[in-house]
């Protein structure tokens, strides 16, 4: 399968000349199954989802969008995703089940996407849209399988995901606060069961790196993890490679280069995510 990094910034977009090489779009990964012409699964719908339209080569999006949670930087691009806001689009949108029965998932999304906060509601997007709530477990999506696990993150129910095609697997934890469960062995958080399940033997662990150990304060995480925690998690779970994403919005290209250089002797190979990069597994 192919993974296209459409948005790798956290919290808020980061435009400007200091953020060109790593990019400024917020969270979105596009996953294309082996042999498929276009992505059928999108993880999150930050501003990076706008760039998925070009991957469709003029076709409508017909697939699934799985949101890890409902914070703005993971949903704000949704109404601007032209490939899905058209009459011939077919979209299934999934998010952590908010409770409340039928219609609850759409209503939860509409809390931020409806007047007076936004001109239209989710139900007014063109095409055939369905909205569903997820509980932890497995979800088949065409040739892919999505595994959802609940993970700690401040400000609402949050999932991490694992996507597999039967041959390769990626784990995706863009917002993760393991220190909420205790300091763990390194003071950066606990290697808890849900995180270990998602990362177990993964070819690629895509993980929150809002903080680095040098600026990590367990009393004020803002719901996020340190890059060094992600590396430790990969080692504990035998993941093959770490992709650090959800970069803090004020970290410039130069600062990220410096931080990347300091991680080159890590026990697991580490790469910093950049918008527009495609990874084949």
Q: Is 147 helix (H, G, I), strand (E, B) or coil?
A: strand
Q: What's the CA gap between 241 and 175, in Å, rounded? A: 18
Check if the beta carbon of residue 72 is closer than 8 Å to that of residue 112.
yes
116 cis-preceded (ω within 30 degrees of 0): yes
For the domain 2-280, what is the CATH superfamily, name and number?
Ribonuclease Z/Hydroxyacylglutathione hydrolase-like (3.60.15.10)
Q: What's the CA gap between 227 and 192, in Å, rounded? A: 16
Tens of pLDDT, residue by residue over 37-96, are 999 999 999 999 999 999 999 999 999 999 999 999 999 999 999 999 999 999 999 999
Considering the entire predicted model, what is its pTM?
A: 0.97
Indicate the domain borders of the chain: 2-280
Q: Residue 263 — very low, low, confident or very high, per pLDDT cuts 50/70/90?
A: very high
Give the per-residue pLDDT at 74.
Answer: 98
With pLDDT > 70 as the criterion, what percentage of the chain qualifies? 100
At residue 6, does pLDDT exceed 90?
A: yes
Q: Which of 15-29, 47-61, 99-113, 261-275 has the lowest mean pLDDT?
A: 99-113
At residue 101, does pLDDT exceed 90?
A: no
With pLDDT > 90 as the criterion, what percentage of the chain qualifies? 99
Residues 6 or more apart whose Cβ sits within 8 Å of residue 101: none
- Reported as type and span, the H/E element at residue 237 is helix 227-237
Q: Map tokens 């969270």 to a residue.
A: 27
At residue 102, does pLDDT exceed 80?
A: no
């Amino acid at each position: 399968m192919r993974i296209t990094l459409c948005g790798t910034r956290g919290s808020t977009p980061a435009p400007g000349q200091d953020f060109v090489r790593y990019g400024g779009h917020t969270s979105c990964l596009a996953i294309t199954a082996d042999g498929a012409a276009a992505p059928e699964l999108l993880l999150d719908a930050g501003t990076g989802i706008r760039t998925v339209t070009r991957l469709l080569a003029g076709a409508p999006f017909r697939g699934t969008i799985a949101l890890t949670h409902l914070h703005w930087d993971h949903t704000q691009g949704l109404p601007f995703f032209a490939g899905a806001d058209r009459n011939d689009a077919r979209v299934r949108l999934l998010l952590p089940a908010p409770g409340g029965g039928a219609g609850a998932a759409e209503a939860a999304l509409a809390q931020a996407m409806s007047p007076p906060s936004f001109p239209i509601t989710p139900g007014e997007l063109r095409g055939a849209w369905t909205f569903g709530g997820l509980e932890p477990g497995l979800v088949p999506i065409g040739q892919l399988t999505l595994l959802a696990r609940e993970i700690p993150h401040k400000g609402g129910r949050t999932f991490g995901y694992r996507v597999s095609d039967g041959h390769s697997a990626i784990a995706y934890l863009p917002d993760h606060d393991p220190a909420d469960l205790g300091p763990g062995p390194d003071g950066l958080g606990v290697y808890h069961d849900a995180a270990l399940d998602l990362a177990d033997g993964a070819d690629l662990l895509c993980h929150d790196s809002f903080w680095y150990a040098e600026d990590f304060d367990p009393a004020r995480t803002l719901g996020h993890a340190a890059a060094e925690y992600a590396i430790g998690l990969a080692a504990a779970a035998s993941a093959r490679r770490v992709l650090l994403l959800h970069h803090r919005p004020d970290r410039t290209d130069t600062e990220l280069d410096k931080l990347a250089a300091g991680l080159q002797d890590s026990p697991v190979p580490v790469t910093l995510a950049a918008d527009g990069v495609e990874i084949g597994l």
